[in-house]
Structure 1
Amino acid sequence: MGNKETIVTIGMRGDGDEPMTEGTAIDLLENIVKTQRNIIQEVTKKPIEETPQMWALYKEVQDYYDKGMTVPDDVTLLLCDDNWGNIRKLPELDSKPRKGGYGIYYHYDYVGGPRNYKWINTNQIERTWEQMDLAYQYGVDKIWIVNVGDIKPMEFPIAFFLDMAWNPEKFNAENLADYYVNWAKENFGNQFTEEIATILKLYTKYNARRKPELLDAKTYSVTNYNEADRVVADYQNLVEKANFINEKLQPEYKDAFYQLVLFPVLASSNLNEMYVATAKNQLYAAQGNAVANAYAEKVKELFEKDSELTNYYHTKLANGKWNHMMSQTHIGYDNWQQPEKNVIPKTKTVEISIKAQAKISTENSPKVETSITKNLENAHGFVENDGYISIESKNYSKAINSDSVKWTLIPNLGKTDSGITIKPSNIQPFEISEQSPRLEYDVCFFSKGKVKVKAYFSPTINFKIGNGLKYGIAFDSEKPQIMNLNEDSSEKNWAESVANNIKIITSTHQIENAGNHVLKIYAIDSALVLQKIVIETEDGKVLESYLGPPESFRKE
């Protein structure tokens, strides 16, 4: 160690990262740390408090701590996320200060359940900011560590994490967009700065919807809301823009541009298109439609293109400077662990007879555009159509703040548009009252009866003592229902929410009369980030999709 600035890691985990024997782990760990601290003191010949130390409360070690494991006061407690970017634990707001303070261990890359994610950048800096700002406001400021796996795919989010760690108060929800612009300007000599910033912002958003290793033919619907085609079109739009920039860039910037921007866009677009082609092959094969065969060929072409893109990165780009950097397998997962090699998705072919006729399919059926046919004369706000109302969270009719908090929009955060939360985060829960901070959404129903409200939240974990993070919800003047974001704390529910990168909480309400109403979302706990709201009427049926239905028509 010498005279360098250092921090010594203490503590221990079980063999193979498994938990230690239940019932003995706490005593054993406390004894291990006591022995470690004696060794440190003997070697340094200084009082133990003069050597900075850190104890990571990773996974089961946090469970031991929660059950009473003693940590010396001068040791920094390294709190952790859930390996998927959601902080597991923060100190209580009224807790006694610790001399060693607190830190955070965060993940951009992970080996483990529900699935490895190691291939390419899938991290939104908006989510990193939201979670690390939460930690900072709770006094977690001693040390921040991020697990990045392979460095090359993660250079952009690494830069953000380190810049934020250096000066957390420099960043806020309003200026995150500037980071993309400044980074693009710095790395590409002020060429196409705004365009590159937009590509970075959107490719990471699209990739964050679902990790590539979790994608399959069933992810996006090929039959409902034109979802799969819209996803492919979004990626292809980025491909066109990135290719155009690549053609015009000064030659000395092209290698960096390919590695930092163009390859992630090309490879991610190709992968999504391959799975959508697989889904269409399966759909048409089930119908006996010969179109399936063309999609089987398309899947093969796109699978091979993935290899070609990787090979170019390894052998041609910068004369092979970054060979093997993108060799991580990412196609063909069937459990949490990676396959030995990329495996092409299974497709089917259809035998073509002379009299074969095209069967009914989404491909050759006329597209039917839904339309609002009922009188809109007195409607106000988002209008029911096809039995549902879909709303992006940022499009509220009214936001009621309080003296202590305000509703804060986090642009670009989430699967479809933006997220909204209350800031600051270091506040005690609110009791709901007429003066409570709340969001109001004007809606119009053409029917009455029971409605279900599905609130789409970022998959935030309950990071404090108590039974979950809560919010209130009501229509008009009804008594608000108290909803718990973390009511189901099972491993299965957690795995589903991080895989989907969303948590949907459903409440049921009675609408007595058709017409205009106001949906109210009340703040109780901080750190809940609302992305989208979907209201399903009693006679309606929201069709299956990954992103939820597109936003409904809004009448001002």
Structure 2
Amino acid sequence: MMAMLAAASPAAAAAATPDCAGLVTACMRAAPGAVALLAPGRPTLIAVDAGEDAGVRRAADDLVGDLVAVGGGTVRLVGKADAGTTVIAGTLGSPLVGALIRAGKIDVRGLDGQWEGYVEQVVERPLPGVDRALVIVGADRRGTIFGLYDISAKAGVSPWTWWADVPAQRHPTLYLTAGRVADHPVVKYRGIFINDEEPAFGGWARARFGGVNHLAYEKLFTLLLRTKANFLWPAMWGKSLWQDDPASAPLAREMGVILGTSHHEPMERANIEWQRQGGGPWDYTRNGERLRAFWRAGIARRGVSEDPVTIGMRGDGDEPMTQGTAIGLLQRIIADQRRTIAEVTGKPAAATPQVWALYKEVQDYYDQGMRVPDDVTLLFADDNWGNIRRLPVPGEQRAGGAGVYYHFDYVGGPRNYKWLDTNAVPRVWQQMAMAHQFGADRLWIVNVGDLKPMEYATSFFLAMAWDPNRMTEAAMQAYPARWAAQQFGAAQGPAIGALIVEYGRLASRRKPELIDADTYAGTAGGWARVLGEWTGLAARAGRLAAAIPTERRDAYDELVLHRIDAMTNLHRLYAAVAANRRAAQTGDAAATARWATAARGYFAEDAALRRRYEGLAGGKWPEMMAQTHVGYTGWQQPDVDVMPALATVAAPLPVPAMATPPLRSIAADAGRAIDGAGVRWQRVAGFTAAGAAMIATPATAPAIERPGGAGPQLAYAIDLPAGARRFDVVAAPGLDVRGTGRHRVALSLDGGAPVIVDLLAGETEARWGKAVADNRRVAGATLPVTRAGRHVLHVWLVDPQVVIEGIEVAG
């Protein structure tokens, strides 16, 4: 049969397409050349060599269970292919697929040596007695594993089947269409970091499995592989995957999951291990000999492994190593670490993959000129709030490449955020697309906190990491409905996807830990506007819940409803507190008491929503919603949720004065986009709670130091009275990834000379804190308006990394 080529469908695609379009696509009816994956009354046989890698056999066992869940019939794993075989799977070099390759039955061109690549092909008469079968061939063991799990997803089993209680989509009859698909990842290492895991993830694992042990990690490893991820930084606060349960690391190796250690845990040693052994001061200048011995043991324990080794050194407890930037000391530490790696492995240091994490103050070393050997991966980081701080020079060629450490969860200033998923996917897409354009494609890892309820954002991040080129803006916009269809079926996908989009849009306004009674008191529309949006969304989600089949209600609550209800209730709580305080100021005792009662009710409802969540799936998730989130007074969380202070008429609390709203707010996409200088504008819908944003692409384009003329711009026609007017650009709180310390646009009115505006001018810790708390930066200029009437405001691009979210015109 002539092989046909196609890009493999994204993992978020719905299980079975009604029109059976595409190659090797799941379909519920027969089509020319299709293989019957499931057929009533006929067993499905999956052939995998008995001598195949253990991880491959585990994935094949999972595929057996998945197909049983989908079809309800007989599915068996067999050690050799013969009559009746439906699926044949193996890694290049295995006898089973080797015979098919030699016979010319399967096309594996380009597969040899391709990291984690795989081919799926429907083959006619692969063996005597077999009319047609699906053949999966992996370039390496993970390639085969990913191919097997890809069939599970196509058949109707979500990667979140265990972690979000998503039942398989039932199809007693299921076909895979004819053809061939081949796929492989673009980002080499793709993974997550379980972090800030107390009390939620840690408490849950202890209640469910007796600890953060290999039983808990087995579930996590399987999730990673089902989502085509391969890398994990394990939970680290007071924990060591290696010491707490000696079965965990060998299990990861068996299953095919690559382990690393976080940005401040060098040489494959967990932070707590140093404290447990009483190693003395974590200070290389005073205790270098014991530190070197400690690290040597980590490399020895790593053994023959794929695990990239984190190198460098930060202070104990996720703090800076020293005051100031001690480049000479850090260079000596890294040289000694690499010498240790070479001595323990018996190979040149460059033969062991290594990562230097440029997190927080460590980036200062890089910015001041420190460099590491070419084979080391440079892991750049965001500012902990989703804004990448630095990226490599476009086109820079390094053997070790570069990557990004990103955050969906954080403990630190200006405020912790770890309760709910509040990560706007369009912003994640823009930042990671920029990272890819700059060449940071060796390692993508995201801090997901407790993992739940970060399922959707985590899915998106890992799907994009598989192939950033495939995740176009259109694919990103289509992703919510596709992902929802995978969890809830094609009929419910669009409606649930719309809820997910709206939740992300509203949640991007402000992290819940940063909200209090004063948050919206001084804004246009005040609490009424914001609460109205949340209340409307909750009503939609509630109505849709009634249409969700009973067997999917736990999944719907976990993935959709809980976060909407919890955020809506939190806004109701603070809006009631604000109303209570206003009533007290006016001396209205009845209203003061009424709103106080309402606020106490919403506070109690917050706890009730936690109990509801933790009781889902028969009580499967104890402690998983235990992160405190009400009553913050500083960056760190309170020990327990604290009811906000309420006022009485006798003792009112101060109420902030209403701020004067801007004279006019103009949507980012309300102007005319004019491309130029090799740059084009791209509208990204739903980027903020206010609407769309305008981004420039490619982000790697050089800065336009002399804006004007035929340069790229956004032109806004507006009516203005005469007189000087302040024009402010509202931008995403991005940072300068080139290291210049500037983040600029330019403004002009009509034919006036452009005035350059630097959004990072005068940057301080406080200004940065306000920018990330508000999720926007604002800067502008005062321009003369010589006459009343229609004018054109020009916003000129200077630095292509700036994201325009709107314009504000003040009097």
TM range (shorter): 0.7 to 0.9
Give the counterpart of 1:8 among 309, 314, 326: 309
Equivalence for 2:92: none
| Residues 1:33 and 2:334 aligned together | yes
| SS, match of residue 165 in structure 1 | helix
Equivalence for 1:512: 786
| SS, match of residue 126 in structure 1 | helix
Q: Which amino acid aligns with 2:533?
A: D
Preserved CA contact (<8 Å) 1:191 1:249 = no
Preserved CA contact (<8 Å) 1:444 1:515 = yes
Of the two structures, which has the highest relative contact order with CA contacts closer than 8 Å and spacing of 6 or more? 1
- State the 1:351 CA deviation: 6.5
| Residues 1:158 and 2:433 aligned together | no
Equivalence for 1:489: 763
| Residues 1:86 and 2:387 aligned together | yes
Equivalence for 2:157: none
Equivalence for 1:62: 363
- State the 1:198 CA deviation: 1.0
| SS, match of residue 317 in structure 2 | helix
Give the counterpart of 2:415 among 115, 118, 136: 115
2 CA distance for matches of 1:151 and 1:295?
A: 36
Cα distance, 1:454–1:387 mapped onto 2, change above 3 Å:
closer
User: How do 1:512-551 residues align onto structure 2 when only pairs under 5 Å count?
Assistant: 512-537=786-811
User: How do 1:359-398 residues align onto structure 2 when only pairs under 5 Å count?
Assistant: 388-396=663-671, 398=672
Give the counterpart of 1:49 among 332, 346, 350: 350
Runs (5+) with no aligned partner, structure 1: 353-361, 363-385, 538-556
Cα distance, 1:23–1:419 mapped onto 2, change above 3 Å:
closer
- State the 1:438 CA deviation: 0.6
Length-normalised TM-score, structure 1: 0.87
Q: Which amino acid aligns with 1:120?
A: L
| Residues 1:209 and 2:509 aligned together | yes
Preserved CA contact (<8 Å) 1:92 1:465 = no
Preserved CA contact (<8 Å) 2:747 2:757 = yes
| Residues 1:129 and 2:429 aligned together | yes
- State the 1:175 CA deviation: 2.8
Q: Which amino acid aligns with 1:195?
A: A
2 CA distance for matches of 1:341 and 1:43?
A: 47
Q: Which amino acid aligns with 1:100?
A: G
Equivalence for 1:192: 492
User: How do 1:284-433 residues align onto structure 2 when only pairs under 5 Å count?
Assistant: 284-290=583-589, 291-314=591-614, 316-350=615-649, 388-396=663-671, 398-402=672-676, 404-430=678-704, 431-433=706-708
2 CA distance for matches of 1:439 and 1:24?
A: 41
1 CA distance for matches of 2:540 and 2:324?
A: 58
How many equivalent pairs are there? 501
- State the 1:164 CA deviation: 0.3
| SS, match of residue 599 in structure 2 | helix
- State the 1:15 CA deviation: 2.5
1 CA distance for matches of 2:394 and 2:542?
A: 49
2 CA distance for matches of 1:491 and 1:389?
A: 29
Percent pairwise identity: 41
| SS, match of residue 248 in structure 1 | coil
| Residues 1:461 and 2:730 aligned together | no
Equivalence for 1:444: 719
| Residues 1:106 and 2:381 aligned together | no
Q: Which amino acid aligns with 2:439?
A: G
- State the 1:225 CA deviation: 3.1
Cα distance, 1:497–1:164 mapped onto 2, change above 3 Å:
same
Length-normalised TM-score, structure 2: 0.60
Equivalence for 2:570: 271
Q: Which amino acid aligns with 1:152?
A: K
- State the 1:489 CA deviation: 1.9
| SS, match of residue 791 in structure 2 | strand
1 CA distance for matches of 2:755 and 2:380?
A: 32
- State the 1:224 CA deviation: 5.2
User: How do 1:223-234 residues align onto structure 2 when only pairs under 5 Å count?
Assistant: 225-234=524-533
- State the 1:245 CA deviation: 1.5
Runs (5+) with no aligned partner, structure 2: 1-301, 652-656
1 CA distance for matches of 2:746 and 2:780?
A: 12
| Residues 1:178 and 2:473 aligned together | no
- State the 1:294 CA deviation: 1.1
2 CA distance for matches of 1:66 and 1:305?
A: 49
1 CA distance for matches of 2:533 and 2:369?
A: 50
1 CA distance for matches of 2:758 and 2:574?
A: 35
1 CA distance for matches of 2:662 and 2:414?
A: 34
Preserved CA contact (<8 Å) 1:173 1:409 = no
TM-align CA RMSD: 1.8
Q: Which amino acid aligns with 1:41?
A: A
Equivalence for 2:745: 471
